[in-house]
Amino acid sequence: MKITKLSHLSGFSIQSHQLTWLIEPKALRAELLKKITNATHRIYLTALYLEDDEAGREVFLALIQAKKRCPELDIKIFVDFHRAQRGRIGEEASQGNAAMYRNMLEQHHVDIKVYGVPVKTKEVFGVLHLKGFIVDDSILYTGASINNAYFHQQDTYRIDRYHVIEHAPLAHSMAKYINDVLLADSHYQSLLTTDKPTKKDMNKFIRCYKRRLTKKHYEHGDTFSGNRITPLVGLGTQANQLNKAIVQLLRECQKQAFICTPYFNLPANIRRILGAKLRAGCRVEIVVGDKTSNDFYISPDEKFSLIGIVPYLYEQSLRRFVKSFQWAIEQDLLHIHLWKHQDNSYHVKGLSIDDTYHLLTGNNLNPRAWSLDLENALLLQDHDKAWTEQFAQEKTHILEHTTRIMHYSELEEREQYPLNVAKLLKRLNRFRLEKLIQRIL
């Protein structure tokens, strides 16, 4: 799909009452459980993972109960193939969340399909990052996966965005993509069988499957004017429809851009476009998580592991960016907001351009999202300003626990980090590994 102007991009016509907001993580949990309970014909959940914890088991049990109540319900769950079959990073080896799926379904004797999506042969080189819970003709769109943190099931939460869209054609388009594209071969993809293909056969399947993912897209609808919503998907750097839309969004910015990302490591072309827009006098606001609000952050009083270096790499990337555009901060063109709220974590993504174009997405706007992961988004065109007030309220909520960075020196240098972190960063820099690592972050 060639995108030359966003106003020429087709989509599904949408009315103001069809899009509503949820603000708190607990509201996400309540809404999803309510929709599962009231489902009549289909429930399709796509997420990076559905965790084997209290929140994950609660949702999975709700699906089981819905299937018992209504046996004809079409229930399919799609999670990342590799992520589902391992434990959490830093924990002991395990069979992962897939063991929970098998055990609960065997215990309750119901037929729910659970599939893994193997984007690449190894998780480090790409994962399923599609978002969206489809229940009947509704879409609950969020960057969140399903676990305690995302649902605020315990003391801490991970903030995200949550939009409820009541729209049958859009739901059908997203469901059709799931059935026609994501589900290629149940023998290779099912997470419920212990009869696994050989590694050689699996890798051969994944290579073919990857080619399939890079070529297939959502059906967009045929509306070319007025308020409309367009589902977008992309994998890789060549024919990535979502990447092209993001680039075009930023290029068409005339006055202001509002960007949220938890992991600050902008692709080079995005950085160049933002620089050009700042020099043209556009106002750019970026909300990014403080390093301590990163889900990989390890407190200095806890045992350190290699994955704990990630938040510091992101902070150094942010510091370099702020230093380069210090002039724009001083001219009140660039606003960098750092999110931090107690021990909670930040996972908010998305773009809003000139209060007209709004990209709802799980895309982190980093090299990994740009080239390795399978990503999707919903592009909302609000030409009639039907949702201006709601987006402004959501923005206020996102900014509630932020501090504005006025100078790059407010972000720590490598020498200010804990000794083990500083040494590791120095070693990475010495062997020129930092840039290589950032390509897969």
CATH label of the domain that carries residue 142:
3.30.870.10
Active site annotation includes 347: yes
Please report whether residue 172 resides in a domain: yes
Tokens of 294: 């990163």
Please report whether residue 361 resides in a domain: yes
Residue tagged active-site, from 53, 80, 82, 129: 129
Q: Higher pLDDT residue, 88 or 201?
A: 201
Give 3-state DSSP helix, strand, coil % of the chain, rounded to 5: 40, 20, 35
> How confident is the model at residue 95, as a pLDDT?
77
Q: With a cut of 50, say whether residue 255 has pLDDT above it.
A: yes
In this prediction, residues 113-133 reach a mean pLDDT of: 96
Please report whether residue 4 resides in a domain: no
In this prediction, residues 311-332 reach a mean pLDDT of: 97
Please report whether residue 269 resides in a domain: yes
Residue tagged active-site, from 31, 160, 290, 315: 160
Report how many domains make up the chain.
Answer: 2
In this prediction, residues 265-287 reach a mean pLDDT of: 97
Final residue belonging to a domain, choices 215, 240, 266? 215
- Per-residue pLDDT of 194-245, as tens digits, reads 888 999 999 999 999 999 999 999 999 999 999 999 999 999 988 899 999 9
> How confident is the model at residue 239, as a pLDDT?
84
Active site annotation includes 129: yes
Q: With a cut of 50, say whether residue 93 has pLDDT above it.
A: no
One DSSP character per residue, 16-39 reads GGGEEEE-SHHHHHHHHHHHHHH-
One domain, residues 196 and 120: yes
Sequence length of the chain is 441
* Structural domain range at position 206: 15-215
Residue tagged active-site, from 347, 373, 382, 394: 347
One domain, residues 233 and 341: yes
Rounded CA-CA distance 272/288 in Å is 19
One domain, residues 109 and 75: yes
Please report whether residue 160 resides in a domain: yes
pLDDT above 70 covers a percentage of the chain that reads 95
> How confident is the model at residue 427, as a pLDDT?
87
- Per-residue pLDDT of 172-206, as tens digits, reads 999 999 999 999 999 999 999 988 899 999 999 99
One domain, residues 253 and 376: yes
One domain, residues 268 and 324: yes
One domain, residues 330 and 198: no
Active site annotation includes 51: no
What pTM value is reported for the model?
0.96
Rounded CA-CA distance 434/429 in Å is 6
Residue tagged active-site, from 52, 80, 290, 375: 375
Please report whether residue 290 resides in a domain: yes
> How confident is the model at residue 261, as a pLDDT?
98
One domain, residues 238 and 99: no
Confidence of residue 7 (pLDDT cuts 50, 70, 90): confident
> How confident is the model at residue 211, as a pLDDT?
95
One domain, residues 169 and 305: no
Rounded CA-CA distance 215/374 in Å is 12
Neighbours of 123 (CB within 10 A): 16
Strands (E) located in 243-396:
256-261, 283-289, 334-339, 345-346, 350-353, 357-361, 374-381
The dihedral sign for the CA sequence 185, 183, 127, 218: positive
Active site annotation includes 58: no
Q: With a cut of 70, say whether residue 441 has pLDDT above it.
A: no
Of the candidates 102, 268, 126, the one whose C-alpha atom is nearest the C-alpha of residue 190 is 102
One domain, residues 292 and 378: yes
Beta strands 12-13; 158-159: pairing state? unpaired
One domain, residues 114 and 254: no
Final residue belonging to a domain, choices 215, 247, 267? 215
Q: With a cut of 60, say whether residue 117 has pLDDT above it.
A: yes
Please report whether residue 58 resides in a domain: yes
In this structure, what are the phi and psi dihedrals at residue 116, rounded to the nearest 5 degrees?
-100, 145
Please report whether residue 414 resides in a domain: yes
Final residue belonging to a domain, choices 147, 181, 215? 215
One domain, residues 78 and 132: yes
Q: Higher pLDDT residue, 433 or 193?
A: 193
Rounded CA-CA distance 50/34 in Å is 18
Q: With a cut of 80, say whether residue 92 has pLDDT above it.
A: no
One domain, residues 203 and 302: no
